[in-house]
Structure 1
Amino acid sequence: MQIDVSFDVTLADGLAQLEAYNKHHYRPNTYLHKWWARRCGTTFRLILKHLVPDPVLRGYYTPGGLTGKIIMDPMMGGGTTLHEAIRLGANVIGGDIDPIPILQARATLADVSELALEQAYQRFFRKLRTELDPYFMTRCPTCGIQTQTWFVLYAARRRCSCGPVLVVDSLILRQEMDGSVIRLCQDCHAIVQGDVVCGCGGMDAESLPAPLIEKQTAVCTQCNQLFHDDLTTPYFARYEPLVIVAHCQRHNLFFKTPDWIDREALQRADDRRGQLNLHRADYVIEPGRKSRHLQRRGIDNYLDLFSSRQLLYLEHALAFLPQDEPLIQLNLALLVSTSLEFNSMLCGYKGKQKRRAGAIRHTFSHHAYSFPYTALENNPLYHRKASGTLEKLFQSRIRNGRSWARQPRERDLSEEKSVFVDIPGEVDAGVEVSDVHELRSGTQRFLLKQGSATHFDLPDGSVDAIVTDPPYFDSVQYSDLSAFFRVWLRQMLPDGANWTFNINDSAVDPHKSDRTSRYTELLSAIFSECQRVLRKDDGRFIFTFHHWNPKAWAALTTALKDADFVLINRYVVHAENPSSVHINNMKALVHDAIFICAPKEVSRKVVWQRPFQINTHDSYQFCYDCATLLGWMLENELEDEEIKQEWRDILR
């Protein structure tokens, strides 16, 4: 098998270095809903191409090549393996313990009518706007014309012994390319443009509102006390509206202080809040490694993370979702759910930067819950295709995704300047089946299973290759974060998934005190199940991995040993954008090791040379050395304690 002896690392690196910066532009059909830690689709396509038996069809830009093969990903997350394999003609099996990956794979792999989806969306969007536009209307401060609010900026309410204070991330609202700024007056909260001096200097101190400060000021200069939040107040009410942002047909973009019309609209929404058909018992926050950060701030219910207008949007979305066509309902439910990343009071503001990729710092910009001082309340029904609006998300996640699925494209690096080229004959879509026996014939069929990857209802030796990206030791518990979306999807799609799954079956477990042994135990069980369902003659178990921690490498080595896998080969490829907010200024690896494993009893003998030191100063070499040492340990059948000691000694 080609991948046993060679892999085009040069091509993989060239493609991944481009894709890593904007993965969603390269594979839009796989990005319908938020998920975390996605790997480059180009890398996984290239891995699968090296499994193609016919040399004529192995070229990266050649369509197909895996017809008649069954490819499996038992921990599919964002679904990269399934999408790449189905494009090549394979039948695929995908599994995940969390419902969201299952629902997203079903929605994006199914061949649904684009026209029917478009028409259903337009009806849905019109109904929402009819009901909710009155809550999002404002007036231009120059001409008084009525227009839709784009977003509202809020300041955090804090206190000291002197009284209340308002805190923002920055007093600057916008920096123009000519260097001029739009800013907030610290004293009266007025919006000031350019070098204009605010006219509040002569105002009586008692007439001024609460002081407005930037977040760097943590201690009151008068009483020397730390500012603190009032944790007895619901989270959404811990903010004060400061700035309305909208567009006027005559005067373009404007920033204005909320007037009585704006405050009246906010009050009407607040008055409706207690009457909404949203039951707090359905949205209780369960404790987890990440959700505990909410509870420490006095937040025990997901409803409190949304403004009253945002909850009105969600209540009406639940009511207006089409019920007659399951796949259309599924797509629109996922669209509404993923819009919440841009439509909660956890969203921050980044529009002050000169280079503005979008005004919204979304809810999970840091793979965790973060709490802005300047909160941004977005209007999800804004008529422009602006950041985080339904119009923008439908365009980028569904229209663009479906268009790409009909005619996938890849970057061609052969020219001086890389360009996108069509891959004729490929489609990123298939037919869902409910039984593994239906995968033995036909092409581009997919079988989805929600549950623990420690057991699949599959015959022994029924899978040609397993290609996956397992959860990393001590990585973020994504099923904990995804509860932010899951509580809403459960209401929109009550019969769409098993919503009461056991999070303890996740390999990244937030509840056990001994996470190392739990991770090893579950990973061993998962890998053993992979060994069982894999074909023994030429089946391959392929996965990507990187980590700094010796405990992670020891757990991985032990799991492979327990499952009777040996390492046939390893390759190291570029994986991460080094400027990513998630790894910037951290001791982060930007490469993945690709492990090519086979069942021990049938694999050819591979002799591994033990590296006596690991290069910890270079991401590529570190991954290469660690992967090589893992191969040596498996070859020499070290005991568990010996494995742990070897990794401790070499990575200390």
Structure 2
Amino acid sequence: MTEPAAPCATQPDWAPTVASMGSAAAPSGPEVSPSRIVAVPARTALEHNFPAVLISAAAQRESWRKELHRPATHTHKWWAQRLGSVFRGILTAAVTETAEQAGDAYAGPTRLDGLTVFDCFAGSGTTLVEAVKLGARAVGRDINPVAALVQRQALARWDEGLLTTAFKQVAAACQDEIERVHRSAAGEHVLYYFWVLHVACRECGDDVELFSSYVFAKHAYPARRPLAQAVCATCHDVVAVNPAEQSGFTCANGHEHATFDGPVNGRKMMCGSGHTSAVVDALDALDGHPPDASMYAKLVLTADGAREYRPIDDFDRALYEQTARLHEEHAGDLVSPVGHLESGYNTTMPLRWGYRRWEQFFNARQLYCLGLLGAAVRDLDESAEREALATLFSGTLEFNNLFCSYKGEGTGAVRHMFKHHVLQPQRTPLEAHPWGVASSSGSFSALFETRLLRAQRYKQRPDDLVSDAAGTVRRRDGLSAELDVDVVSSWAELANAARPAAYVVAGDSASTDLPDASVALIVTDPPYMDNVHYSELADFFHAWLVGVRPYPGYPQLATTRQDGEVQAVAADAFESAIRAVWVECARVLADDGLLAFTFHHARETGWTSLMSALRAAGLVVTAIQPVKAEMSSSAVKSAALVPSNLDSIVVCRKADRASSSAAVGQADVAAAGDVAVQRLLALARSGIDVSANDVGSVVRGSVLALQTRPGCPITMSELQELASAAVATATADLAASVGLRPTPVAPAGPTGP
């Protein structure tokens, strides 16, 4: 039997310093033959000697531009796109015994021949891609069909020539018409149209345009490019201004503005007659309809390649009205979004603003042009390349809707709708060019290059991030196998495949067709208890995908919300749902196999629910390893007062393979806290940021994990008290050693991890 890791009061062997990482340096010289591993050892580096510093150094580099370092999993939006370096590290440490072996396996051409890796919450497909790159047989399952579609693209075999040909067919069917309705009176391309919502003052009925500032366009680097654009509140003339030197402006028609401030200030608005009221009061008066919107400016690409901001004119308004009529006349031939929003954690704001149906997230021109584009993709012959373009079409929606806003020039101009992982209405939405022209942001043609072709080239020659002995991280190719597998839809197809294959399906992981004890490794990233409710967001894409039908068998559901989802604000509901999945995982896991997953939760209830579910499923936690997590550029992370920077890798075995004969006591609680502190210190001293939230999550999880040991005499409530004390001690110790910002008092209501 494999015993849980022994406590260690001194610097442990699983915490290499930067100077000791020479064994994992990027290989050089002649190509090395792959090292082949065919079994999970009884004692693994993942449980006892995980090289967290080495893996985290690579993950830190990857986290800034994941779409460049792991483009195969970045062909479409998903809300939990984890770091490939971390999951490669988990897989290689799970099949090796020492830190040195794990480092060598991570940084070398390792192949997991014959091993089956299962991801029961497969998300964007990170585990699947890393498993296939290591030569393992991959099985991915996710209850959400949009996630399954993203996974299929991460692994699918495309022919670049056929992909380009299919793209040209789509262009021939709709590009000219889309470009025609994005033109100025002089025939120039219009890159962006600027819109503003408006409501009526409840007191006097005056129309109020919901500007918080009349400056609507700034450069991303205003210190170098201080010129900005403002719109006149009276006539909508567009004026170049310098907000750093001006306090107001006068338009060409003589309308003076003493300030750049608009009528909206926070949640309040003021009409032209001076009445102040809450914006939500005006929304309530709309009886469940969204506010009206009007165009006020456009950004034109001139014949000589310059960009000019101009006011909206009669031609623009007439062209829009013509497009709206075309949409009505041809609606039956176009792909259109179907369905309505249901009440939920992430739909509260749009419902309050009157957005009841998914089609209301788009104006008439967007519905017409996206409908043309979707129909052109829909009508292609069935193929892997058609499916890729259907996924690309869906991804384009993220940048072409009324919940987008303008970031400004000097960067990607379109701020996509999921910047904060919520459905947030915009008072001044941006309408982009969905097909795109030179330097367009978020367009179908631009994303074809930056998403599909980049992913295709990565699949043909994947590279990896490797840290050398000096801590320098470099990209190295030649370590991983080409992503060249057939995507199949059942275990039987996988078992009988004549060539390398991966099994990907949309379905509840609490009930699978996998045989008993058929999986060597289960490596996953389960949803957090109450953070991002994926199905509520994924329905935005699904509303269109139902009409495009990206592949035969794509679920024709009214919504992606399902009863088996492992996501709930209520702790008991979360525990019940995830327990059902862990029970199924215990059934399909080989007796000597490992379950490993990443997790982070700031709230105690997330950890208690998780550990109770594991224990009920007959799984014992044998280790918790902190590691670099998430994207460092994440808007959600950067907005937090004390952002989390680490995940906990929770490692489990079946209870009859990992049980300890010794009863759990106070010494084990102290040891669990001490080991967690040592591991956190190793990361902090290597230069990885460790926050107070990270300390709380890792230490709390390490102590509460004792509850999964068979016969643990300490109740969960008692462990909760002990865990809180351990967190306080660990936070003080780490603050004294490496410095930590204290965790602020959390606001009332549910919080994310």
Q: What TM-score comes out, normalization by structure 1 length?
A: 0.90
1:630 & 1:581 partners in 2: Cα distance? 30
The offset of 1:426, in angstroms, is: 1.7
CA contact (8 A) 1:87 1:429 kept: no
User: 1:167 touches 1:214 (CA, 8 Å); kept in 2?
Assistant: yes
Correspondence 1:512-551 to 2 at 5 A: 515-536=570-591, 538-551=592-605
Alignment deviations for residues 597-627 of structure 1 (CA, whole Å, 9 cap, x no partner): 1001022649772049799962443333123
Alpha-carbon distance, 1:569 to partner: 1.8
Does residue 163 of structure 2 align to residue 108 of structure 1?
no
Q: Does 1:10 pair with 2:53?
A: yes
- Aligned partner of 2:105 in structure 1 is 59
Deviation per residue, 1:131-182 (Å, 9 max, x gap) = 222211115xxxxx52111011111212213400212243222245242333
Do 1:234 and 1:304's aligned partners in 2 also have CA atoms closer than 8 Å? no
Instruction: Report the counterpart of residue 39 of structure 1 in structure 2.
Output: 82
Cα distance in 2 for residues equivalent to 1:18 and 1:75: 25
What do you get for the CA RMSD once the two structures are aligned? 2.9
Change (3 A) 1:617 1:395: closer
Q: Report what 1:625 is aligned to.
A: 699
The answer to whether structure 1 residue 341 and structure 2 residue 398 are counterparts is yes
Distance change (3 Å), C-alpha of 1:365 and 1:169: farther
Aligned residue for 1:541, secondary structure, equals: strand
* 1:646 equivalenced with 2:719 (yes/no): yes
Distance 2:396 2:478 in 1: 31
1:29-54 residue CA offsets vs partner (Å, 9 max, x unmatched)? 11111110221111001111123459
Q: Secondary structure at the match of 1:283?
A: coil
Q: Which one-letter code corresponds to 1:129 in the other structure?
A: Q
Name the aligned partner's letter for residue 159 of structure 1.
A
| TM-score (ref. length: structure 2) | 0.78
Q: Which residue of 1 aligns with 2:384?
A: 327
Q: 1:86 aligns with which of 112, 119, 132?
A: 132
Matched residue pairs, number? 632
**How do 1:164-563 residues align onto structure 2 when only pairs under 5 Å count?**
164-172=207-215, 173-175=217-219, 176=222, 177-194=224-241, 198-199=250-251, 213-216=263-266, 218-220=269-271, 222-227=274-279, 228-229=282-283, 231-232=286-287, 235=290, 238-250=292-304, 252-275=306-329, 276-277=331-332, 282-321=338-377, 322-351=379-408, 356-414=410-468, 418-424=473-479, 426-437=481-492, 439-440=494-495, 444-493=500-549, 495-500=552-557, 503-509=562-568, 515-536=570-591, 538-563=592-617
Between 96-105 and 130-139, the greater mean CA deviation after superposition:
130-139
- The residue aligned with 1:68 is 114
DSSP 3-state at the match of 1:594:
strand
Name the CA distance, whole Å, in 2 between partners of 1:417 and 1:587: 27
What is the CA-CA distance between 1:273 and the residue it aligns to?
A: 3.5
Q: Which whole-Å CA distance do the structure 2 matches of 1:301 and 1:334 have between them?
A: 22
8 Å Cα contact 1:121-1:332 kept in structure 2: yes
Q: Is the 8 A contact 2:700 2:724 kept in 1?
A: no
Distance 1:420 1:272, change over 3 A: same
Partners in 2 of 1:620 and 1:204 — Cα distance? 52
Query: Hey, what's the Cα distance between the residues in 2 that align with 1:333 and 1:290?
Result: 25
Q: How far apart are residue 281 of structure 1 and its match?
A: 9.1
Q: State the identity as a percent.
A: 26
1:128 aligns with 2:174: yes
In structure 2, the residue corresponding to 1:472 is in which secondary structure?
Answer: coil
What is the DSSP-based 3-state SS (H/G/I as helix, E as strand, rest coil) of the residue aligned with 1:460? coil
| CA spacing shift, 1:110–1:251, aligned 2, 3 Å | closer
**How is 1:605-624 mapped onto 2 (pairs within 5 angstroms)?**
605=660, 609-611=668-670, 618-624=692-698
Gaps of 5+ in 1: 140-144, 206-210
Provide closer, same or farther for how the CA distance between residues 329 and 440 of structure 1 changes in structure 2, counting only shifts above 3 A: closer
Per-residue deviation, 1:233: 8.2
Structure 1 counterpart SS, 2:398:
helix
Q: Could you list the per-position Cα deviations for residues 169-197 of structure 1 after superposition, in whole angstroms to 9, with x for gaps in the alignment?
A: 43222245242333223443211124695
**Whole-Å Cα distance in 2 between the matches of residues 433 and 395 of structure 1?**
27
CA positional deviation for 1:232: 4.8
Name the CA distance, whole Å, in 2 between partners of 1:88 and 1:79: 14
What is the match of residue 635 of structure 1? 709
Structure 2: which amino acid aligns with 1:193? A
Q: Please, which moves more after superposition, 2-11 or 501-510?
A: 501-510
Determine helix, strand or coil for the equivalent of 2:575: helix
Q: How far apart are the structure 1 equivalents of 2:156 and 2:632?
A: 34
1:95 pairs with 2:150? no
Structure 2: runs of 5+ lacking an equivalent: 1-43, 678-689, 726-753
How many angstroms does 1:400 deviate by? 0.4
Q: Distance in 1 between matches of 2:706 and 2:256?
A: 78
